[in-house]
Structure 1
Amino acid sequence: MSNRLPQALANLDAWLQTMRQPGGYGGPVAHWWRDQFVYTGPGLDWRYEGILIGYSELWDKTHEVQWLVRIKQAAEDLKSGQLPDGSYRMSRFEQNPGTLGTPHEAAASMGLLMAMDRTGDLTLLDTARANLDNLIHRLWDPTSHGFTDKPGVPGRVPNKLATFSQALCLLARLTQDDQYLEYAKIAIDDVLRFQIDRGRFQGAVHQYAPDNQHGDHRLFPYYNARCIEPLLTASKVFSDSTYSQAASEITKFLRHTMADDSSWPQIVYTSGRRMDYPKWLAGTADILYAFHRMGQPLPDRALDRLLASQLPSGAFPTAVGFNRKTHRHAPLDPPDYRDLMPVVGWNDKVLRLLAALLPPETTLPPPNVQSYSRPARIAAKDTVFTETNQMFQYDSHYAVSKSAPWAKGERLWG
């Protein structure tokens, strides 16, 4: 274990508490698919997976009451934010505001189910069950006998199906209702259908199958990593080593694609072409967590790279090289404005990883955090990014109070 880990965890927890608003954890979102810098209110999405699982791990290992308080608070966010149909309010992460977010609602419900035993609140099972029942109802396609990503659209997104399957396996165990296992197996078997079984990229899983027949030839290391724990869960639940073997093959793909700087490319195409940027920083935690769940040694330099990126506020920045999405040779210094922005829905993944790596009975030190400013770049404009406990700001271009659901300032994109 890195001797920096306890302090890193203490600082990250302190930062997460600055991101709370009435109703939950808020803040801007920077993502590969799109960004959301206007709506900055609570998002009841996959950020709750890492928050609930991470704090549950800390409670189990330390029995310090502050972690139980965090668990109950986050669980109440989901209970209070559940809509009459079972969906969660503002569950679409980078596409917020909206509902029926995938894999976000299933991930949040899985966090809720894993945390339930710690709280003693059995109504959390009802909350998670209502949510997962609604996802079954809305996403099930009787024609293709499987789960779509959106109602009425035939395409499959394997990594999202993996998360959904894992949540359903857990729900089946807690409710003793085997109908959920039937759905869980259908979902995880669709992941296997889109795993490459030979050649240079053997083991990798396609990102999307728009016609539910053929993969799209895009292999995202990050999303591949998110398939590993659900496959391990399926192997145990269904007593079938096919799933654990599939997880092992994905791990080989992750080791094969790790770069010399201990990062991973954003996309590897089956043609051999790569899109290297943006390279995740906080999101790398999910890749490392997959190695941990496999019982394999973590790539040490990758963990060091992650820990070294922690900001003075306690948060972890999102990425390196967002500007290279559109300009291949754009300078990396100063960083793109999205690189620096810390996002709760990426930092929760760091919380889960570091909590999993923390030895039992470890007492965290007091947090040591402070405000800071860094040079940044918005399109062709030089600016300065500042973070305090109360706000984020890019000079006069953009400002958001951490307690406000909407940002103020000009558009930062386009």
Structure 2
Amino acid sequence: MNPTLTHPTPKPQEQIAQALANLEAWLETMRQPGGYGGPVCHWWQHRLRYTGPGHDWRYEGILVGYFQLWQKTGDRYYREKLNRAAFDLLEGQLPDGRYLASRFELNPGTLGTPHEAAATLGLLLALPGLDDPERALAAAGRNLDNLIAQLYLPEEKAYRDRVPNKLATLAQALLAYAEATQQEQYLPYATRALEQALRYQVQEGPLAGAIHQYAPTSDRGDGRFFPYYQSRCIPPLVEGARVLGEPRYGQAARQTLGFIERTRQTDGGWPMVLYAKGKSIERPRWIAANADVLLAYRALGEPLPEAALDRLLQAQLKSGGFPTAYGFGNDKLSPHDLIPVAGWNDKVFRLLAELLPKPAALPAPQVGLTEVEVWVGNTPAWLCENTQALIVQTRGEVLYAWRKGEPWARIVDPRLDVR
């Protein structure tokens, strides 16, 4: 890492604990029969109509976060919530190993990548806290076997899904499963996923360390570099170095973090995407998702950038959730910026749980009504969220209405149902 970086002063533990307590209370409002639901706002596409349970990457952070909370506090209350979340996945698994509604912004579809592997990884990382670890291992095995069957091309010894961050997540899940079961036949599949991802890493120049977002052909990347998705590659590479005894993976992870560090902005945020020819798209800039970027620093034992952690903590809404981004509406706050999404907030939940000292106890949550002025095009509106509902309304009409606990929004105005 850059030796000129200054080590930030650790955040007051009281602030971390209170933010975590508030977020945990908000997560509870996202529960409904079958799991954690809610709308999804994303760079690729928004999904506001379907608000039912998503058995996608939200479970990675939720499972690991509750496991960490139980470990840090010793409170069985959090272990019970951990097992409840695991039960969601186990009951939401189809006979062939897929999970119901596992495509996040494309829910309620199945065979989501990297989402199914991420959910399975959450199960495996939380295994010591599960009441029925054997059932969880069996579910993880079915899921990974199906992902291999659907995605792996034996004749090419490569995967058809040439998206490096997705390959990396799959590799980490395979590594965790191989370790948990001592079934070494999964290790070559993990190795090939990591090797395929690193095929698209830039080796020199201003983008050195960056990994192409996608490979349209097996021999070239697409020239797009998302700092967020770079961060998703780092923990799997670190695990690959440890489990497989391949230091080259650790070196590649450090090179990727070097790129992330170079693109970090003074306020603690990152641009959305940089292009090989030098252009970039600044907005929207992630808020909740940046917890994954900070987890990448932790995976390499590096200090967290203080400005980035400050920016994240200061963004927490009164409801306890964290907003998605800033910039979907350019210079004006958009509902898509502020809507808190379970599949982004799980990443904050995991980060804060990891930052909590041991032993610890969470304070009582301090949450209330979120009420913020937003813009829908050139029309002023208000976003309101409490424990019962999420509403976007102008002075004269309701543009969006979701009653928490229901799998579909009641009202979705076409002006919000975009991308």
Length-normalised TM-score, structure 1: 0.95
Equivalent residue, structure 1, for 2:5 = none
Equivalent residue, structure 2, for 1:173 = 179
Whether the 8 Å contact between 2:329 and 2:375 is mirrored in structure 1 is no
Alignment of structure 1 residues 338-377 onto 2, 5 Å? 338-377=336-375
Aligned partners of 2:246 and 2:11: how far apart in 1?
Answer: 35
Equivalent residue, structure 1, for 2:209 = 203
Alignment of structure 1 residues 251-266 onto 2, 5 Å? 251-266=257-272
Aligned partners of 2:307 and 2:126: how far apart in 1?
Answer: 31
Give the AA of the match of 1:102: T
SS in 2 for 1:91: coil
Alignment of structure 1 residues 287-302 onto 2, 5 Å? 287-302=293-308
Check if 1:276 corresponds to 2:266.
Answer: no
SS in 2 for 1:237: helix
Give the AA of the match of 2:257: T
SS in 2 for 1:383: strand
Give the AA of the match of 1:282: A
SS in 1 for 2:201: coil
Give the AA of the match of 1:48: Y
Equivalent residue, structure 2, for 1:91 = 102
Paired residues in the alignment total 400
Equivalent residue, structure 1, for 2:31 = 20
User: Structure 1 residue aligned with 2:157, among 128, 136, 145?
Assistant: 145
Check if 1:7 corresponds to 2:7.
Answer: no
Check if 1:379 corresponds to 2:377.
Answer: yes
Structure 1 runs (4+) deviating above 6 angstroms are none
Shift of 1:293: 1.2
Aligned partners of 2:370 and 2:201: how far apart in 1?
Answer: 44
Structure 1 stretch 280-289 or stretch 373-382: which is displaced more? Answer: 373-382
Whether the 8 Å contact between 2:165 and 2:229 is mirrored in structure 1 is yes
Aligned partners of 1:250 and 1:136: how far apart in 2?
Answer: 26
User: Structure 2 residue aligned with 1:403, among 399, 402, 405?
Assistant: 405
Equivalent residue, structure 2, for 1:45 = 56
Aligned partners of 1:213 and 1:374: how far apart in 2?
Answer: 47
Equivalent residue, structure 2, for 1:393 = 391
SS in 2 for 1:226: helix
User: Structure 2 residue aligned with 1:319, among 301, 325, 340?
Assistant: 325
Give the AA of the match of 1:363: A
Q: Deviations over 1:160-185 (max 9, x none)?
A: 00000000001111111111001000
User: Structure 2 residue aligned with 1:305, among 304, 311, 320?
Assistant: 311
Equivalent residue, structure 1, for 2:67 = 56
Check if 1:71 corresponds to 2:82.
Answer: yes
User: Structure 1 residue aligned with 2:145, among 105, 127, 133?
Assistant: 133
Equivalent residue, structure 2, for 1:153 = none
Aligned partners of 1:372 and 1:157: how far apart in 2?
Answer: 36
Give the AA of the match of 1:404: E
Q: Deviations over 1:178-237 (max 9, x none)?
A: 110010000011111010011111000000001121000000000000100000000011
Give the AA of the match of 2:44: W
Aligned partners of 1:374 and 1:399: how far apart in 2?
Answer: 15
SS in 2 for 1:397: strand
Structure 1 stretch 138-147 or stretch 380-389: which is displaced more? Answer: 138-147
Whether the 8 Å contact between 2:48 and 2:417 is mirrored in structure 1 is no
Q: Cα RMSD over matched residues?
A: 0.9
Aligned partners of 2:342 and 2:70: how far apart in 1?
Answer: 20
Aligned partners of 1:68 and 1:378: how far apart in 2?
Answer: 41
Aligned partners of 1:222 and 1:398: how far apart in 2?
Answer: 28
Whether the 8 Å contact between 2:83 and 2:131 is mirrored in structure 1 is no
Structure 2: give runs of 5+ residues left out of the alignment. Answer: 1-9
Equivalent residue, structure 2, for 1:152 = none
Alignment of structure 1 residues 199-278 onto 2, 5 Å? 199-278=205-284
Name the % identity.
50
Aligned partners of 2:417 and 2:83: how far apart in 1?
Answer: 37
Whether the 8 Å contact between 2:403 and 2:409 is mirrored in structure 1 is yes
Aligned partners of 2:224 and 2:322: how far apart in 1?
Answer: 27
Aligned partners of 1:14 and 1:408: how far apart in 2?
Answer: 24
Shift of 1:379: 2.3
Alignment of structure 1 residues 146-165 onto 2, 5 Å? 146-149=158-161, 156-165=162-171
Equivalent residue, structure 1, for 2:131 = 120
Q: Deviations over 1:364-411 (max 9, x none)?
A: 100000012110112232111000101100111110011110012222
Shift of 1:250: 0.7
Shift of 1:55: 0.9
Whether the 8 Å contact between 2:266 and 2:307 is mirrored in structure 1 is no
Shift of 1:114: 1.3
Whether the 8 Å contact between 2:16 and 2:352 is mirrored in structure 1 is yes
Aligned partners of 1:387 and 1:379: how far apart in 2?
Answer: 21
Aligned partners of 1:285 and 1:364: how far apart in 2?
Answer: 20
Aligned partners of 1:377 and 1:323: how far apart in 2?
Answer: 8
Shift of 1:147: 1.4
Structure 1: give runs of 5+ residues left out of the alignment. Answer: 150-155, 325-330
Aligned partners of 1:178 and 1:347: how far apart in 2?
Answer: 34
Aligned partners of 1:347 and 1:33: how far apart in 2?
Answer: 18
Q: Deviations over 1:278-316 (max 9, x none)?
A: 100000100011001110011001100100000001100
